[in-house]
Amino acid sequence: MGSAALERRSDAVTPDPLMGAGVRPAEARARWARLPYLGRPAGITLLLLLLAFLSLYPMVMLLYGSLHSTPPGIAGTFNLDGYAGLLTVQNLQILANTIGISLIKTVLSMALAILLAWIVARTDTPARGTLEVLITLPFFIPPILTATAWAMLGNAQVGTINLAWRWITGTDSTLVDVYSYGGVIWHMMQYSTPFIFLFVVDAFRAMDPALEESSRMSGATRWQTFWRVTFALMLPVTTSAFILSFIRGMEGFESAVFFGTPVNIKVITTQIYDLITQQAQPDYQGATSFGFAAMALMFLLLVLQSRLLRRRSFTTVTGKGYSPNVIRLGGLRWVTFAICIAFFAATVALPIGQLLLSSFFQFFGFYQLDMLTLDHYRAVWANDEFWTALGNTMLLGVTGATATMVLGGIVAYVTTRTLWFGRRLINLLAWLPWMMPGMVLGIGFLWGFATLPHAIPIYGTLWALLLAYVALGTPVAVRVTSGAYQQIARDLEECSRVHGAGWWQTLGRVLVALAWPAFAVGWVLVFFGIMRELSASILLYSPGTQVLSVVMLKMWTSNRAEDVSVIGLLMVVMVLLFRWIQLRLIKTRISTL
Amino acid sequence: MPNVALQAVSRHFAELKAVDNIDLAVSDGEFVTLLGPSGCGKTTTLRMIAGLEQNDSGSIAIGGRLVSDAATGLFVPPEQRKLGMVFQSYAIWPHMTVFDNVAYPLSVRHVPKREIAQRVTAALRLVEMERYADRPAPALSGGQQQRVAIARALVFEPEVLLLDEPLSNLDARLRTVMGEEFRALQRRLGITTIYVTHDQEEAMALSDRVVVMQRGRIHQVGTPEQVYRRPASRDVAAFFGTPNLIEAIVTASRPISNGEAGNDEHVLAVQGTNWRGQCRAAAAFGEGDKVLVVIRPEDATLIADDAVLADGQLGWRGRIVDGVFRGPRRSLAVQTDVLRFRVECPAMREMPTGDTATIVVDSQNAWAIHA
């Protein structure tokens, strides 16, 4: 070094402790461009603190609460009573219920989802594009809606299905009773089937047809090819979907509280809920210990998942847009068409029909002409609590979804596009809420907010709900945006840098400009998530900050099913509207890209 | 003066030395190609010049201005290096029109709108794409995207043009056409150009000088003729085509001048299995040294089995075992005592397999390297 040809700048260069090497632009003209470099340590620290508050803090407070003998905010001693109380036969039964129910519903959903995905992606069934939209629709409808609807459809005495069955057969027998294990499982399946479907259908579609064709050319039958090539290649995707769906099933609250609690079928989430809200003396320590144990279980499952999937390659089934092999079914294609329509009918059309029906009659189950009424619409219209809840839900939905997407977008950028110091920790913190069921995160925040100094009044305000929603939504937001970033070739960014754009310019003019459809999709997903969130909300709301889902559950338990139907219909309209906008948005964007 | 100088530049990825202590000087207006198999460090070198990677050690200067120096921690970010670059994937931004893509380097530097319009039109005219200015970028063919990428790289009149395997995604015919266009454009504009490729024919056709890289190191730098006819090592020789490599032992060595100062060659007398003769080498060898004699298939001719060798010729007797007709020429394989010799000869000559013949090579075309 030190050749005459290379003139060294005389400025002293300050080493940057984070980068290991100082950074000094050559021209004063572009001094502002140093901002990302000099602001980086501060930005990363801020991001880490925020994420730690959203995920690590409730976890720590969960541990704290589980050892604390009295409810949050009251002086007490520390002991292990909470954990000691876990070791009972009844709790073993609850654990077995939780695992058993989730396992069965995941297996059934997986089989159904693979069938539906195969029909949509690989057969010449008519109107496959529309069918795909219809099959995935239940995923976007708040579970509390279908739960109320199915409670009215499948009630053993006055359920619409049983009334129709008796009318048709002329007997007194009962066809279905949703207040049972079967009812809980069936209600969960309505969500996990489209969830798994969304994973599997792309795997079916994105597979290089040459992989299957070469199997056929090697002498394998269609059936052998399906199992030994198609299914084997999809195994990583299906395993991943299976475990995720299983975890979600264990975290589920609505199905069990609606169909399990009345007949004493208990799962972990409903037990936690009961310990806090349904007892003369709320048992916070017991509930928190339960929550911490549940979280540990989720942690084990996630470790299992990452171990199972570590050595698997997904490369064969992602990426290029192949046109997949389509099987001609002949007359059978109307059977497959009917299967898809039946699924849509059972999960969307029937529940919405039931909500419509019960909203116009005095009492659900008694459908006579002289019982027709608009009273329920008037009652809801005049209900202040409803308006407060609607306002809160909308406010929290819009601000929560926006905040979550901004945070998720930044986290995804740092973790997928940079080599910055601390990015692994940022990624980890953003993913932590993934292993906390809403109910458990709710307790964590309950303890967390209650023990904050009084100068920070989060407890009992909308902020409490907002922070919980952001924490719960961040993994989804990170997932959606990092997926979008990964599809944008690094070249596009580097090319911008080489041709004179700074870091911020490149971010805005290339990355965000290209990824905004994903941001829009993610925003809608998070918004839906907030709108249907029940298990954390029910612990964190207080008078004045209730949200729609909480109000609906309260109305339901005080036997105002018909009013719930009215609110449910309003939510359905919103869901359909958002989903329609989302689909339009994606379609127009994809056609131009 | 937009020259480029790399001094002792290295780049490590964990244990892997992607680029290992290389020195390179590219002069103003020169077209230099970094050539090597994939993973040889050529792209990493280009990206360090661009500022997309930071070198772990050494320094890089562009136009006499130090842009990266590991010792002092100096690192100029890519946007301030005033470069143009064409990426292997072209990196055409799909959300912009052709015009917006080309205008980008100007608009991020806040050039006035009217001037942008002028310069973009001029740049598009240069690559004969002005008719496509309003097209959305994804609606272009590979060759058209290529041209847009070049227009974008040139519109700012960069100090140095960097090209990362720009032809590898095109079909064979278009590759030749675009290659010729590159060369013509570069000559016309006189812009310093660094080009990365793994295709030796491309490298020889386009460059003033070729830098042959392997495993993160530079093996040879020279004009296309030098690296092809006077390879510095077995690796370099083997990288260009499929030369015949014949083992031999040196019996004598003397220097000669080939007219160029400082570019002396040596004449060696060598002894092989059942053959002996003379060949050329870049350096002096001692008596008894083992060498490999490099003979290009196209430098060998076949004569009748009983013909007598002229002075200054090398010869091997053998039997023709294989012949492939390739249109303009014919590729033969001749089995000799020493090796299976590859010979390229005019296609018109009938060469039935099974015949015996003598392979003759002018000793000026026999080049010795270390075994």
The pLDDT tens digits of the residues spanning A333-348 come to 899 999 999 999 999 9
Alpha-carbon span A402 to A396, nearest angstrom: 10
> What are the structural domain ranges in chain B?
4-235, 242-370
SS (H, E, C) B55-69: CCEEEEEECCEEEEE
A177 assigned to some structural domain? yes
Please give the pLDDT value at position A282.
83
* Interstrand relation of B367-370 and B356-362 (parallel, antiparallel or unpaired): unpaired
Q: Estimate to the nearest angstrom the gap between the alpha carbon of A88 and the chain centroid.
A: 32
CATH of the domain at A209: 1.10.3720.10
User: Considering only CB atoms, which chain A residues are within 8 Å of B91?
Assistant: 489, 491-492, 494-495
Check if B83 contacts A (Cβ < 8 Å): yes
Please give the pLDDT value at position A28.
38
- Give me chain B's average pLDDT, please: 88
Check if A514 contacts B (Cβ < 8 Å): yes
Please give the pLDDT value at position B115.
93
A392 assigned to some structural domain? no
Distances, alpha carbon B101 to alpha carbons A160, A395, B142, in Å: 61, 40, 15
Q: Which of A343-347, B63-67, B292-296, B352-356 has the lowest mean pLDDT?
A: B352-356
User: Considering only CB atoms, which chain B residues are within 8 Å of A8?
Assistant: 66, 69, 72
A285 assigned to some structural domain? yes
Phi, psi of B223 (to 5 degrees): -65, 160
Q: Which two tokens stand for residue A518?
A: 């994903």
Interface test with B, best of A32, A499, A510, A519 (most B CBs within 10 A): A499
The pLDDT tens digits of the residues spanning B130-141 come to 899 998 877 888
Work out the minimum CA distance from A38 to partner chain B, whole angstroms. 13
Domain count, chain A: 1
Please give the pLDDT value at position B112.
93
- Write the DSSP assignment of A120-176 as a string of letters: HHHB--TTHHHHHHHHHGGGGS-HHHHHHHHHHHS-TTT-HHHHHHHHHH-S-----
A556 assigned to some structural domain? no
* pLDDT confidence band for B146 (50 / 70 / 90): confident
- Give me chain A's average pLDDT, please: 81
Domain covering B242-370 assigned CATH 3.40.50.170 in the classification = no
Length of chain B: 371
Q: Which of A8-12, A255-259, B145-149, B209-213 has the lowest mean pLDDT?
A: A8-12
With the C-alpha atoms ordered B307, B312, B316, B322, is the resulting torsion angle positive or negative? negative
ipTM over 0.85: no
Whether B80 sits inside 8 A of A8 (CB atoms) is no
Whether B5 sits inside 8 A of A9 (CB atoms) is no
Check if B108 contacts A (Cβ < 8 Å): yes
The pLDDT tens digits of the residues spanning A185-212 come to 999 999 999 989 988 887 787 776 667 7
Please give the pLDDT value at position B194.
95
Please give the pLDDT value at position A31.
42
Residues of chain A above pLDDT 70, percent: 87
List beta partners, residue B316.
Answer: B359
Chain B's closest residue to A5, CA to CA, is: B64
In the block, which residue shows the tokens 């004598």? B252
Q: Which two tokens stand for residue A64?
A: 């704290």
The pLDDT tens digits of the residues spanning B171-224 come to 888 888 888 888 888 888 899 999 999 998 899 999 999 999 999 999 999 999
Please give the pLDDT value at position B1.
52
User: Considering only CB atoms, which chain B residues are within 8 Å of A321?
Assistant: none
Work out the minimum CA distance from A482 to partner chain B, whole angstroms. 19
User: Considering only CB atoms, which chain A residues are within 8 Å of B3?
Assistant: 5
User: Considering only CB atoms, which chain B residues are within 8 Å of A499?
Assistant: 79, 83-85, 104-105, 108, 152-153, 156
Q: What is the mean pLDDT of residues A10-20?
A: 36
A317 assigned to some structural domain? yes
Whether A25 sits inside 8 A of B77 (CB atoms) is yes
Contact predicate B291/B268, CB 8 Å:
yes
Q: Which residues of A330-367 are buried (b: 16+ CB within 10 A; e: fewer)?
A: eeebeebbebbeebbebbbebbbebbebbbbbeebeeb
CA angle B104, B105, B107 (to 5 degrees): 60
Answer whether residue B276 shows pLDDT above 70. Answer: yes
* pLDDT confidence band for A83 (50 / 70 / 90): confident
Please give the pLDDT value at position A187.
94
Alpha-carbon span B293 to B273, nearest angstrom: 13
B52: nearest CB among A26, A494, A505:
A494
Whether A498 sits inside 8 A of B84 (CB atoms) is yes
Answer whether residue A221 shows pLDDT above 80. Answer: no
A330 assigned to some structural domain? yes
Alpha-carbon span A574 to A233, nearest angstrom: 38
Work out the minimum CA distance from B357 to partner chain A, whole angstroms. 46
Answer whether residue A506 shows pLDDT above 50. Answer: yes
Answer whether residue A176 shows pLDDT above 80. Answer: yes
Q: Which run of H or E residues covers position A371?
A: none
Answer whether residue B248 shows pLDDT above 70. Answer: yes
User: Considering only CB atoms, which chain A residues are within 8 Å of B7?
Assistant: 1, 3, 6
The pLDDT tens digits of the residues spanning A348-385 come to 999 999 988 888 887 777 777 777 788 888 888 888 88
Give the number of other CB atoms < 10 A from CB of residue A20.
Answer: 10
With the C-alpha atoms ordered A289, A292, A294, A300, is the resulting torsion angle positive or negative? negative
Q: What is the mean pLDDT of residues A413-417?
A: 85
The pLDDT tens digits of the residues spanning A428-461 come to 888 888 778 888 899 899 888 888 877 777 888 8
Contact predicate A323/A208, CB 8 Å:
no
Distances, alpha carbon B88 to alpha carbons A387, B43, B92, B137, B194, in Å: 58, 10, 11, 16, 14
Residue A290 sits in which domain range? Answer: 89-373
User: Considering only CB atoms, which chain B residues are within 8 Å of A3?
Assistant: 5, 7
Check if B50 contacts A (Cβ < 8 Å): yes
Interface test with A, best of B108, B120, B152, B161 (most A CBs within 10 A): B108
A3: nearest CB among B7, B79, B85:
B7
Check if B70 contacts A (Cβ < 8 Å): yes
Distances, alpha carbon A552 to alpha carbons A301, A577, B150, in Å: 32, 21, 61
List beta partners, residue B318.
Answer: B336, B357
Q: What is the mean pLDDT of residues B66-93?
A: 88
Check if B273 contacts A (Cβ < 8 Å): no
Work out the minimum CA distance from B54 to partner chain A, whole angstroms. 10
Q: What is the mean pLDDT of residues B284-289?
A: 90
* pLDDT confidence band for A5 (50 / 70 / 90): very low
User: Considering only CB atoms, which chain B residues are within 8 Å of A593?
Assistant: 94-95, 138
Check if A25 contacts B (Cβ < 8 Å): yes
Q: Which two tokens stand for residue B149?
A: 């990428």
- Write the DSSP assignment of B153-198 as a string of letters: HHTT--SEEEEESTTTTS-HHHHHHHHHHHHHHHHHHT-EEEEEES
Please give the pLDDT value at position B110.
87
Contact predicate B100/B121, CB 8 Å:
no
Answer whether residue A11 shows pLDDT above 70. Answer: no
Interface test with B, best of A495, A590, A591 (most B CBs within 10 A): A495
Q: What is the mean pLDDT of residues A48-72?
A: 88
Query: What's the CATH class of domain B4-235?
Result: alpha beta
Check if A83 contacts B (Cβ < 8 Å): no
Q: What is the mean pLDDT of residues B28-45?
A: 92
Please give the pLDDT value at position A37.
55
Whether A21 sits inside 8 A of B80 (CB atoms) is no
Nearest to A78 by CA among A272, A282, A285: A285
In the block, which residue shows the tokens 């000087």? B25
